[in-house]
């Protein structure tokens, strides 16, 4: 009996971990530097939008990412893919409530393969053109030069797109809409205590009561 | 002559009744709205250059209750109305006229137009009266004056 209890005690944490892990995995998708680009859009309710925006920017910079836009209403960040979990925990910590989260993902493998092969083939053609350049006459040289220019332009374009995809692969695009905690306007509810009925923010800022 | 005296007496009585029954030091950087020395008006009013306002007045402590009671009532009432606490309540002491009184200050987050505001309500009950201090301003500007407002609230004394 004792032996069974001992085995159960040993197995219990492992079983619990096995049961709990998928729950976390479902909530926070595992993200490493794979071939998937993530686009995270979220809206959070905070008490202090400025503080929340500053904290997010500070955090992302400390963790190897960067921000592309920041205001008291919206923050756009590039978060390192491996830090996605921690970023979502940060959002939970900073906000009173996370109103909305949407994650879009895109597999980049096909685009990357296509672009890489295009770069490789364009570079091959470029090499061949360069080899032809020595043997060409004036007219041919001009034609080859034009071809080379167009190839270089093409290759740079492909490489640019490739770099963008590589960045998308390594950094999650996160757009956070920050909303002030106050969502509903305070109502004027009467109370039995007369003096308390006079406490009203809108009357106060309107100045009608005291001036 | 007698009629004139009666009229004068009535005017004086009216003026005394209308006087602020509390004294407040203005927050640092604030201008006093009505700094009349002898007939200051029923409320005390100070304003910062950016428009953060502070208004203080007093009301009868009726039904007579202590800070614990009014603190609870005020918080529940404003929360019921839909105000959301922007910070923890601040308990403080005022020491005017050699009497130490306890008070409480609440700060509420309120959206107004496209801006976020903080609405501050503080009370200092005495045996007969309750001093009420209200202040409000845009969140960012209010934050700059928060300490000054708190210091000012601590100077509330009953006349």
Confidence of residue B8 (pLDDT cuts 50, 70, 90): low
Decide if B116 and A180 are in contact by the 8 Å CB cutoff: yes
Decide if B73 and A191 are in contact by the 8 Å CB cutoff: yes
Could you say which of A182, A191, A211 has the minimum Cβ distance to residue B109?
A182
Q: What is the pTM of this model?
A: 0.52
Name the burial class of residue B153, with classes exposed (0-12), middle (13-18) and buried (19+) by CB atoms within 10 angstroms of its CB: buried
Query: A196 CB near a chain B CB, below 8 Å?
Result: yes
Could you say which of A186, A194, A195 has the minimum Cβ distance to residue B110?
A186
Query: B117 CB near a chain A CB, below 8 Å?
Result: yes
Decide if B132 and A199 are in contact by the 8 Å CB cutoff: yes
The per-residue pLDDT for B15 is 46
DSSP string, B18-81: HS-SEE-PPPTTPEES---SS---SSEEEE-TT--EEEEEEEE--S---HHHHHHHHHHHHHHH
Q: Give the bridge partners for B55, in sequence order.
A: B45, B134
Separation in Å, CA B63 to CA A111, A188, A195, B74, B157: 76, 22, 11, 14, 21
Query: A153 CB near a chain B CB, below 8 Å?
Result: no
In the numeric block, which tokens belong to residue A170? 């390594």
Decide if B111 and A187 are in contact by the 8 Å CB cutoff: no
Contacts of B105 in chain A (CB under 8 A): none
Decide if A47 and B73 are in contact by the 8 Å CB cutoff: no
The per-residue pLDDT for B120 is 95
Chain B contacts in chain A segment 48-77 (CB below 8 A): 48-50
Residues in chain B: 159
Decide if B84 and A182 are in contact by the 8 Å CB cutoff: yes
The per-residue pLDDT for B34 is 64
Decide if B78 and A199 are in contact by the 8 Å CB cutoff: yes
Query: A193 CB near a chain B CB, below 8 Å?
Result: yes
The interface pTM score, or ipTM, of the predicted complex is 0.82
The per-residue pLDDT for A50 is 85
Other beta carbons within 10 Å of A153: 11
The end-to-end CA distance of chain A, in Å, is 83
Q: Do B136 and B47 touch, CB atoms closer than 8 A?
A: no
Could you say which of B43, B108, B130 has the minimum Cβ distance to residue A195?
B130
Hey, where are the domains in chain B? 20-158
Decide if A210 and B55 are in contact by the 8 Å CB cutoff: yes
Query: B45 CB near a chain A CB, below 8 Å?
Result: yes
Contacts of A211 in chain B (CB under 8 A): 33, 45
Angle between helices A49-62 and A84-94 (to 10 degrees): 160
Query: A190 CB near a chain B CB, below 8 Å?
Result: no
Query: B141 CB near a chain A CB, below 8 Å?
Result: no
Residue B16 clears pLDDT 50, i.e. is over it: no
Decide if A202 and B112 are in contact by the 8 Å CB cutoff: yes
Q: What is the pLDDT along chain A (211 residues), one digit of tens a residue?
A: 555 555 555 444 444 444 434 433 334 444 445 788 999 998 888 877 888 899 999 999 999 999 999 888 889 999 999 888 899 889 888 887 777 788 888 899 999 999 999 999 999 999 998 888 888 888 888 999 999 999 999 999 999 999 999 999 899 999 998 876 555 667 777 888 888 888 889 888 876 555 4
- Domain B20-158 superfamily per CATH: Mog1/PsbP, alpha/beta/alpha sandwich (3.40.1000.10)
């Amino acid at each position: 009996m004792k032996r069974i209890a001992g085995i159960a005690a040993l197995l219990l944490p492992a079983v619990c971990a096995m049961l709990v892990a998928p729950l976390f995995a479902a909530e926070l998708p595992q993200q490493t530097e794979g071939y998937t680009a993530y686009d995270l859009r979220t809206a959070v309710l905070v008490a202090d939008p400025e503080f929340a925006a500053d904290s997010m920017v500070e955090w992302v910079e400390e963790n190897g990412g960067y921000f592309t836009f920041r205001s008291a209403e919206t923050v756009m960040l590039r978060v390192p893919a491996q830090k996605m979990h921690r970023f979502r925990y940060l959002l939970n910590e900073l906000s009173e409530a996370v109103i909305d989260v949407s994650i879009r993902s895109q597999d980049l493998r096909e685009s990357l393969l296509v672009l890489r092969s295009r770069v490789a083939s364009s570079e091959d053609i470029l090499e061949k053109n360069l080899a032809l350049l020595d043997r060409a006459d004036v007219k041919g040289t001009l034609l080859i030069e034009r071809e080379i220019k167009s190839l270089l332009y093409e290759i740079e374009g492909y490489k640019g797109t490739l770099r963008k995809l590589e960045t998308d692969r390594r950094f999650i695009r996160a757009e956070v809409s920050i909303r002030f905690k106050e969502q509903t306007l305070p109502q004027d509810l009467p109370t039995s205590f007369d003096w308390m009925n006079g406490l009203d923010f809108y009357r106060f800022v309107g100045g009608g009561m005291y001036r | 002559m007698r009629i004139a005296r009666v009229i004068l007496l009535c005017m004086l009585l009216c003026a005394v009744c209308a006087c602020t029954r509390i004294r407040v030091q203005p927050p640092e950087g604030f201008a006093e709205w009505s700094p009349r020395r002898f007939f200051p008006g029923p409320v005390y009013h100070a304003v910062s250059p950016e428009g953060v306002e502070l208004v203080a007045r007093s009301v009868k402590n009726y039904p007579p209750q202590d800070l614990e009671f009014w603190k609870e009532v005020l918080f529940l009432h404003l929360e019921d109305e839909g105000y959301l606490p922007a910070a923890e309540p601040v308990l403080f002491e005022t020491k005017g006229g050699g009497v130490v009184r306890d008070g409480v200050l609440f700060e509420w987050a309120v959206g107004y137009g496209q801006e976020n505001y903080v609405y501050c309500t503080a009370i200092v009950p005495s045996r007969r009266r309750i001093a009420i201090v209200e202040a409000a301003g845009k969140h960012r500007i209010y934050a700059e004056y928060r300490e000054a407002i708190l210091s000012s609230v601590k100077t509330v004394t009953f006349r």
